[in-house]
Structure 1
Amino acid sequence: MTWVLILVIALVVLGVMVFLLKLPRTGWEITAAALLFGIAGYALQGHPGQPGAPQAPVENARLTDQTLLKERQQMGAGFGQGQSWLILADALTRQGQFGAASDVLRKAIAKSPQDADLWVALGNALVGHTEGVITPAAQFAFQKAANIAPDHPGPPFFMGLALAQTGRLAEARVLWAQLLARSPADAPYRPDLQSRLQQLDSMIAEQARMQGGMAGAPAAPPPGAKPAQQ
């Protein structure tokens, strides 16, 4: 009965995505494959007959990815109509399949090139694919989203995040400070943005302190030089 229930749930999920969320026909196969892959994984590792043993959650890379997905969802939703594509791309992103998510989003953008949310998601997927390094393609995606929807908070936020991850702290701060200045007081992402900006300021101050200490240190003698006489 457990397997019957699991299959029924999978069919219901697929039906909701196809008929209610209007998932494009080109995404049916990959969505069904993802569901079957999840069922297969449960068949190999699941033990429904064993008693539960709840434990404290462990923070890992996937949790961080999900946090960023939540941020993007809070910042989007009102700037495009490609939600069915975003659902599929987010599912792939949660599994760390950034390349596949990028491919899905490129197909979605080909159909809806003026959807700012799709461009933001593509930029995030490209950054994830390069493990946090901002590439010209990712930068183009964020800039495209900003051009389509100048009020969209996603492009400056995630562009700044990518810049900060690559050590370009001052550039990231400019973007985040401008975003905070124009963000509504009741914006759901505002508290997180303020917290991140404070952390960034601390990092910049620490970086300046270390650079000042290195500048004030005496230069090392060249190799082979004789020590100075006291």
Structure 2
Amino acid sequence: MLFWIVAALLTLGASLAVLLPLTRQAEGDADKSHDLEVYRDQLAEVERDAARGLIAAPDAEQARAEIARRIIRLDAEGTSAPRSGPSLAPRLVGVVAVLAVPLLSWSVYTVIGSPDIPSQPLSARLSQNPANSSVDELIARAEAHLVANPTDGRGWDVLAPVYMRMGRANDAVTAYRNAIRLLGSSSARESGLGEAIAAAAGGIVTADARSAFEDALKSDPTNPKARYFLGIALAQEGKTADAAIVWRQLADGVPADSPWRSVVEQAIAQAEGRVPQQNQTAGAPAPSQDQIDAAASMSAGDRTVMIEGMVATLDEKLRQNPRDTEGWLRLVRSYQVLGKTDQAQDALGRAYTALGRDSDDGRKLTELAGSLGLKVTE
């Protein structure tokens, strides 16, 4: 009910703001009539003062002339301005139009709108049954709870992986750190923290991420996520053979139906150069389409970190061996598929420098750039 009262008052205020200017001309006519009466009274007073000898004849004559000029000026303004009579119809049309807009809009809303639906403020939606809430509302509810209860470690522990699945890596880092601080370190929390740090760094396993993965292995030496990403860290450092050893040990230890198995086997094949020539990238574990498909069972965060990590490894390999044409083609394509157009453009320029723009390899790069929508400049 309060909403309708406020809406009515706002509508009334807006209508009055438009209606009031329509009355100004009539008010102006009334002001002119009043001024004319004042000037006539002044003229009569001058005549009385002159008759009683209170003012000299020249002064009286000068006063009469001044008042007459004012009356003439006022009369001239009145004749040049439109009279109230002819402007009455336009003003009436304006008044009707202004009143019709809110009346018409309110009438249409009552027909096609839903005025009977009660308001749904965020606080009310957050207090409703969780089964009837959307994911965003559930997260908002959890965040509101943690704002009021920042020491609820269990809440941070639950929210952290949700942030990762939503691609909010920085928020996931904060949540994992709070959960570890309040609940203590565990293999799952440490590996999740390492994954979040790597995702926030664009897929690079930084020193902080490596430290988290190593802490995860202290609690559980079989943690597949920590072992896999430590292999990624080795590959990013150019230690492809060492990375293959880590991944091979991981593949031997995980069950056959583990979602990590196919991903690790693909990484090993890339590292050892056992993939077909069209998918081989200078021995680096760059993400082939088969490997991306094999990672479908992983979380969005895992897949992103895995793919971006391998692309970063390929980039580093090409800096060391810039004569690998197939590697450059895959690097440019991979960056563009990941949505990193600036890095794809930079890789294209480095490839031209290494292979030559006018060579056969350079023409392959130009064809690829055209198909990906990249700029090819001299």
Normalising by structure 2, report the TM-score: 0.34
Q: Which amino acid aligns with 2:193?
A: L
What is the rounded CA distance, in whole Å, between the counterparts of 2:193 and 2:267 in structure 1?
22
Conserved in 2, the CA contact under 8 Å of 1:31 and 1:88? Answer: no
Aligned equivalent of 1:172: 243
- Supply the distance in 2 between the matched residues of 1:188 and 1:83 (Cα, whole angstroms): 27
User: How big is the shift at 1:124?
Assistant: 0.7
CA contact 1:160–1:175 (8 Å) conserved in 2: yes
User: Residue 198 of structure 2 is aligned with which of 110, 127, 137?
Assistant: 127
Amino acid at match of 2:164: T
**Alignment match of 1:151 (pick from 197, 222, 228):** 222
Q: Tell me, in whole angstroms, the C-alpha distance in 1 between the residues paired with 2:158 and 2:232.
A: 22
1:181 corresponds to 2:252: yes
Equivalent of 1:110 in 178, 181, 198: 181
- Does the CA-based 8 Å contact 1:134-1:166 persist in structure 2? no
Q: 1:180 & 1:204 partners in 2: Cα distance?
A: 22
Q: Aligned Cα RMSD in Å? A: 4.2
| Amino acid across the alignment from 2:197 | L
Unaligned runs of 5+ in 1: 17-22, 33-81, 215-230
- Which one is further off, 131-140 or 164-173? 164-173
Name the structure 2 match of 1:61: none
Bigger shift: residues 189-198 or 97-106: 189-198
Partner in structure 2 of residue 205 of structure 1:
283
> Which one-letter code corresponds to 2:232 in the other structure?
L
- What's 1:40 paired with? none
Deviations 1:190-222 (A, max 9, x none): 1222122212323453769x95x89xxxxxxxx
| 1:13 alignment partner in structure 2 | 130
- 2:336 aligns with none
Q: What's the counterpart of residue 100 of structure 1?
A: 171
Asked if the contact 1:120/1:145 (under 8 Å) is kept, the reply is: yes
Counting matched residue pairs gives 156
Q: CA deviation at 1:10?
A: 8.6
Q: Distance in 1 between matches of 2:232 and 2:253?
A: 18
Describe the superposition over 1:147-168 as per-residue Cα deviations: whole angstroms up to 9, x where unpaired: 1011221211122234435644
Aligned to 1:184, what secondary structure does the other structure show?
coil
Residue 9 to residue 196, structure 1, CA distance change in 2 (3 Å): farther
Greater gyration radius: 2
User: What is the CA–CA distance in structure 2 between the aligned matches of 1:99 and 1:130, rounded to whole Å?
Assistant: 9
Q: Distance in 1 between matches of 2:145 and 2:171?
A: 10
Alignment of 1:44-63 (within 5 A): none
Match of 1:19 in 2: none
Deviation at 1:110, TM superposition (A): 1.3
1:29 aligns with 2:163: no
CA distance in 2, matches of 1:188, 1:148: 21
> Share of identical aligned residues, percent?
26
Q: CA shift at 1:95, angstroms?
A: 4.1
Structure 2: 5+ residue stretches without partners: 1-113, 134-138, 148-152, 274-280, 285-316, 325-378
Which one has the bigger helix percentage? 2
Tell me which residue corresponds to 2:265.
Answer: 194
Matched AA of 2:144: E
Asked if the contact 1:127/1:135 (under 8 Å) is kept, the reply is yes
| Residues 205, 164 of structure 1: alpha-carbon distance in 2 compared, 3 angstrom cutoff | closer
**Cα gap change, 1:189 to 1:133, in 2 (>3 Å):** closer
- Provide the TM-score with structure 1 as the length reference: 0.52
